Amino acid sequence: MLKAQLQELRMDPKVIEKIVQELGDFTPDMAEKEGVPIHKQICDIWDTIFNFQARDGDIVVASYPKSGTTWMQEILDLIIQEGDIKKSMRAPGFVKVPFLEMGHTSLEVANAMPSPRIIKTHLPVQLMPPSFWEKDVKMVYVARNPKDCMVSYYYFCKMDVTMTDPGTWDNFFSMFMGGNVPWGNWFDHVIGWWKAKDQHNILYVFYEDMIEDARREIQKVMRFLGKDLSEDIVQKILHHTSFKSMKKNPMFNYSALSDTVFDQSVSTFMRKGTVGDWKNHFLESQNIIFDKEYEKRMKGSDLVFRTEL
Ligand code: A3P
């Protein structure tokens, strides 16, 4: 099915194989960039990533891992494709939306892609390649409350074989709190991008707002992109990007990645898609530790997260 679709839309199936291969070659080995823990393979090609040339008209979807990046990338693509699901299914999400820091193939795909490109990144704002600030680029940052984000990241680390084994939930709790996870400390990430939005063309969107009223948030993103689409198209976008639809869409749910990369028998990529699942995982003692740290780190900031709706 995948091959036929790609042929119809004139995309080379070999590109997928190359990207899957590149993702599969990742190992959990970590290194640091300016104090931020990142996969060693990313650090090894850092100069190439940092010198990436953004173009006028590029759209970036940026986030801390497990914040709703995939959801937003499909919304962005469907807005650009004006609700045409066939076009949005031209390739799996990880091919049509190159992952900036993932490797040479991702960068090659991005370089060869016609504008407007959608590019995904988990980089903290201070590590973004400078050309993104120099060109006329629109960025959508998706942020999710840290408790649900932590739970989602825990299951992700269990199923993504390129991640360090998180061990027990208790162990992962400590890793996350200490910022000892790929792409670093959650607080630094969300605060860094929150501050940057005052100087740059960044739309800051909350996962919880999307769950609460996806239509409202899609319209916000449309306005930001300067797109005026009919209610009929908005309804199509809403439908195709609902959790239920995305979970069964092979182009959106990462099933095109082999289980040697994402072992979805351990945990599915489209896992729960809710607000408040943290309550099923946090011990009372962990909640107290977390709330104290949250208060300390967010003091004086007007950035507010909702952990329940
Ligand atoms: P859970 O693990 O809590 O279910 P990312 O794309 O940044 O890796 O984020 C993945 C998280 O977003 C997962 O959270 C996933 O289920 C959720 N997600 C993806 N698409 C979604 C959708 N259409 N609606 C709600 N949640 C979605």
Any bridge partners for residue 202, and if so which?
Answer: 139
Q: Is residue 22 part of a domain?
A: yes
| Structural contact between residues 56 and 135, judged by C-beta atoms closer than 8 angstroms | yes
Give the pLDDT score at 13: 74
Q: pLDDT tens across 154-208, in order?
A: 999 999 988 989 999 999 999 999 999 999 999 999 999 999 999 999 999 999 9
Mutate to test the pocket of ligand 1, among 23, 71, 210, 245 (most ligand atoms within 8 A of CB): 71
pLDDT at position 258 over 90: no
| Structural contact between residues 24 and 261, judged by C-beta atoms closer than 8 angstroms | yes
**278 secondary structure, DSSP code:** G
Q: pLDDT tens across 75-125, in order?
A: 999 999 999 999 999 888 988 999 999 999 899 989 988 899 999 999 999
CA distance 203 to 194: 9
Q: pLDDT tens across 196-247, in order?
A: 999 999 999 999 999 999 999 999 999 999 999 999 999 999 999 999 999 9
What residue has token string 């969107």? 205
Question: Taking the mean position of all CA atoms in its chain, how far away is CA 274?
Answer: 16
Q: Are strands 36-39 and 30-33 parallel, antiparallel or unpaired?
A: antiparallel
Q: Is residue 156 part of a domain?
A: no
Give the pLDDT score at 8: 47
Q: pLDDT tens across 17-71, in order?
A: 888 888 888 899 999 999 999 999 999 999 999 999 999 999 999 999 999 999 9
275 pLDDT band (50/70/90 cuts)?
Answer: very high
| Structural contact between residues 122 and 63, judged by C-beta atoms closer than 8 angstroms | yes
CATH number at residue 249: 3.40.50.300
Domain count, the chain: 1
Question: Rounded to two decimals, what is the model's pTM?
Answer: 0.95
Measure 238 CA to ligand 1 centroid, in angstroms: 15
CA distance 102 to 41: 8
Q: Is residue 162 part of a domain?
A: no
Q: Is residue 170 part of a domain?
A: no
**Sheet of 202-206: strands edge to edge?**
118-121, 59-63, 138-143, 202-206
SS3 call for 272: coil
Cα atoms found within 13 Å of the Cα of residue 156, Cβ hemisphere only: 18
Q: Is residue 51 part of a domain?
A: yes
**99 secondary structure, DSSP code:** B
* Cβ–ligand 1 contact at 75 (below 6 Å): no
- Average pLDDT taken over every residue of the chain: 93
Q: Is residue 298 part of a domain?
A: no
**Residue 140 belongs to what domain range?**
2-145+188-253
**236 secondary structure, DSSP code:** H
Q: Is residue 140 part of a domain?
A: yes
Q: Is residue 63 part of a domain?
A: yes
* Cβ–ligand 1 contact at 272 (below 6 Å): yes
Measure 134 CA to ligand 1 centroid, in angstroms: 31
- DSSP percent split of the chain into helix, strand, coil, nearest 5: 50, 10, 40
CA distance 153 to 278: 11
* Cβ–ligand 1 contact at 253 (below 6 Å): no
